[in-house]
Structure 1
């Protein structure tokens, strides 16, 4: 059974700092939360061991790499069995254009967030990688004008 670990205010403060900037070093975190560096490091290791901290990600300016257009591709499937969903998601995640995939409930089965060089690249990607699958029954593409991410730890 997956039991939720109760986090105290110090754990939450550590998480909030790392969520805001995962590059912070242990000494700076310890100072900001009022712990000795060794105690802070032990808490961070425990948060990792308990799968509360799953890793950290690098944010890249995609335009410097030629990703001039981002889009969200909504995908409806005609076949909703688990094997199909898992296979498509796994396959699409290997594609260089794919930034993330959201498996959805409701009318849309997937949102596929992509970065491409230009509109021709986007069109070819949709035709060759998305609609080429017989299980895909409908696709709509929306351009992303701007993407922002909160750096505040959610209060759930």
Structure 2
């Protein structure tokens, strides 16, 4: 990747709906070489996919929680069951495997506290192999971005 590829990535991260002509103009390329570079970035896996960023509150999910999960055991069956449940649960936006005192950090969105309680009772509490769950609710966001530097 060179400087021009990084410029293309920066612009697409800011606005993924740019037409190729608009993108080419912003990065000072003609459209054909610009499109070729974008296709190469896609083919190389640098550009994974294009998405719309949805406002959580406007979409009806104003409550965000970060949940630390520690497993009771780390045998393959427990880990696979937990990770499969995470992948299949739409309220879980992200799951990170951690070092330190917890095994996983989950980012969860729900419409309200009643929905969170329901989520806990029906999803996490019914998942075998979990030893501890520690929840922190978000009451303000200082910075949130998907743009890489």
TM-score normalised by the chain length of structure 1: 0.85
- Counterparts of 1:34-113 in structure 2, within 5 Å, are 34-113=28-107
**Residues 110-146 of structure 1: CA distance to partner in whole angstroms, max 9, x if unpaired?**
1111111221211221222112223100001111123
Q: Answer whether contact 1:131 1:139 (CA < 8 A) is retained.
A: no
2-structure distance, mates of 1:151, 1:67: 19
1-structure distance, mates of 2:10, 2:20: 14
Q: Answer whether contact 1:98 1:112 (CA < 8 A) is retained.
A: yes
In structure 2, the partner of 1:124 is: 118
User: Aligned with 1:63: secondary structure?
Assistant: coil
- Counterparts of 1:16-31 in structure 2, within 5 Å, are 16-31=10-25
Q: Does 1:139 align with 2:133?
A: yes
Aligned CA distance change for structure 1 residues 127 and 12 (closer, same or farther; 3 Å): same
In structure 2, the partner of 1:4 is: none
Q: Answer whether contact 2:85 2:127 (CA < 8 A) is retained.
A: no
- C-alpha root-mean-square deviation of aligned residues, in Å? 1.8
* Runs of 4+ off more than 6 Å: none
Shift of 1:82: 4.2
1-structure distance, mates of 2:77, 2:19: 42
Q: Unpaired runs of 5+ in structure 1?
A: 1-6
In structure 2, the partner of 1:150 is: 145
Q: Unpaired runs of 5+ in structure 2?
A: none
Shift of 1:13: 0.7
**Residues 44-100 of structure 1: CA distance to partner in whole angstroms, max 9, x if unpaired?**
000010111111222112223321211111100112234433432232222232222
Number of corresponding residues: 148
User: Aligned with 1:64: secondary structure?
Assistant: coil
